[in-house]
Amino acid sequence: MNNNELSVSSNSLGLLSPIRTLLVNSEANLLTYKDQIGQLPEPEDDYDHHIFLRNVRLRKSHKLELYDQLIDELVHDSNKRARGPVQLAVYRYHWECMVCCLSQAFFMRRWLVVSLDKAKYGESGNYWIKKCGFSYQCTKDIVKYLRKSGLVSIKPGKRFKDQPSGTRMYPKGDLVEKLWMYFLYTEEAMEPSYIGINNPDDGWAELINSLPDDHREVVDMRVINEHLKASQWACKAPVMLTYKHDFLHGGRLVTPYQSLPDRSIRLRINTLLDEKPICEVDYNANHLRLNLAVLAKEHAGDTPYEDIVELAGMDAESNAARNMVKDFITKSMGASTEHKARGAFIKSKGASSGLFKRIKEATYKRYPNIVLFDGWGIKAQGLEGEILRKVMVEGVNLGISSLPVHDALAVNHQYADWAQEAMAGVWSDVVGGVGTKLKVDYPR
């Protein structure tokens, strides 16, 4: 094989059995995952395990009588105010969004974050709260009811990094039994803008909001999302191009679908895209390969993480060892200093500083030209987003739907070969001719 080497996991399409493959195409199959998730402890309460209340509702083509009855019941039982017909309709809208978001939160294993800061609902308040049309009073009344009824685990808002955090909720017990079956049919309105920025530095939010219609990224994201409007998938929502602070940081493709669990519970890979099974085509050791390709014009070889594992004297047969090296690379490329990288690595993995040193020395021995501890990981995120965006647009031009999953694309099985070729080609073009390696994961 040449530098644009492709590899396929052992669970190839030809080995799949329709009988043995559990695809989430019915409530009966989803029930299996619901029961598995229900046996797990509540998720960690940190930023990586949070989602935010959004205008997520049940797909119009799947409005069900039981769903309407559930919303009617919740509206009736929680409404303690003299709301007229128009106000009740607004209140009902809030309940629909709350139920659908809580359904997603359960299967994503994330806390649903809701703001009870009245200032965020004002004219100069939070952009997303205003875009979704959320009311402070409606939100407050619903949270009060959920807290009092015991239908959710709830953590009140607190101060965090000088900002008030939102109230966090996770469904439990009777509420899970009432809402789990609607998860597959939840969707968020596919409306622009499709480019956003988190924690913007001065002036950058205004700049992004005023990008011209013919800006390359604006055009690409509009093309992608206009095409995806006709597709259906779990947690359907816009694909966003998201920056952090400014245009120099980030630029990742983000959509709620990628937050579905796929390690301890293989839910995401077993969902459907346009009612057909999917596979995920992903870049092997992508940030490490990008670093070497861009900064040293160097190909990383077939087994970069495994090579480092061996040189570090770790168990070569252990997935845990490989994951430890992967986490070291991620932390060391993302941190601006070795001290920060060491602290983040030890905190996340519970490892020792001695192991950090061993992996660092093995990494430099295998790849003398690699650049660590200078924050280059944020550049890698931007390149990753650029590559996937270009591949997705290429797919749209061929009538192919795809979904971004961090450093991978989810496509229907029949497009696996196309995705591998397109992803290898665009990757090489963006980094200047050096090749990469891909793998394909199918449902088990």
At 247 the pLDDT is: 67
Q: Tens digits of per-residue pLDDT, 358-397?
A: 999 999 999 999 999 999 998 999 999 999 999 999 999 9
Report the C-alpha gap between 298 and 367 in whole angstroms. Answer: 9
Length of the chain: 444
Scanning 251-366, the segments in alpha helix (DSSP H) are 286-296, 304-311, 319-334, 338-349, 353-366
The answer to whether position 116 is within a domain reads: yes
Task: Name the domain count of the chain.
Answer: 2
What's the first-to-final CA gap in the chain, in angstroms?
Answer: 27
Last residue of a domain, one of 161, 189, 217: 189
Last residue of a domain, one of 154, 189, 224: 189
At 429 the pLDDT is: 97
The answer to whether position 77 is within a domain reads: yes
Range of the domain at 74: 24-189
* Mean pLDDT, rounded, for 320-333: 94
Q: Tens digits of per-residue pLDDT, 107-155?
A: 999 999 999 999 999 888 888 899 999 999 999 999 999 999 999 999 9
Last residue of a domain, one of 366, 397, 420: 366
The answer to whether position 181 is within a domain reads: yes
What is this structure's pTM?
0.88
SS3 breakdown of the chain: % helix, strand, coil, rounded to 5?
50, 15, 35
The answer to whether position 417 is within a domain reads: no
Average pLDDT of the chain? Answer: 89
At 368 the pLDDT is: 98
* Sequential DSSP letters for 57-106: EE-GGG--HHHHHHHHHHHHHH--S---HHHHHHHHHHHHHHHHHHHHHH
Q: Do 310 and 169 share a structural domain?
A: no
What's 316's DSSP letter? T
Q: Do 182 and 324 share a structural domain?
A: no
The answer to whether position 359 is within a domain reads: yes
The answer to whether position 159 is within a domain reads: yes
Is residue 402 within 8 A of residue 370, CB to CB? The reply is no
Q: How confident is the model at residue 204 (pLDDT cuts 50, 70, 90)?
A: confident
Please give the share of the chain, as a percent, with pLDDT higher than 70. Answer: 90
**Phi-psi group of 137: left, alpha or beta (phi > 0 → left; psi -120 to 50 → alpha; rest → beta):** alpha
Q: Long-range pairs for 33-40 at CB < 8 Å and ≥24 separation?
A: 33/107, 33/265, 33/267, 33/270, 34/106, 34/107, 34/176, 34/180, 36/265, 37/106, 37/107, 37/109, 37/261, 37/265, 38/176, 40/109, 40/264, 40/265
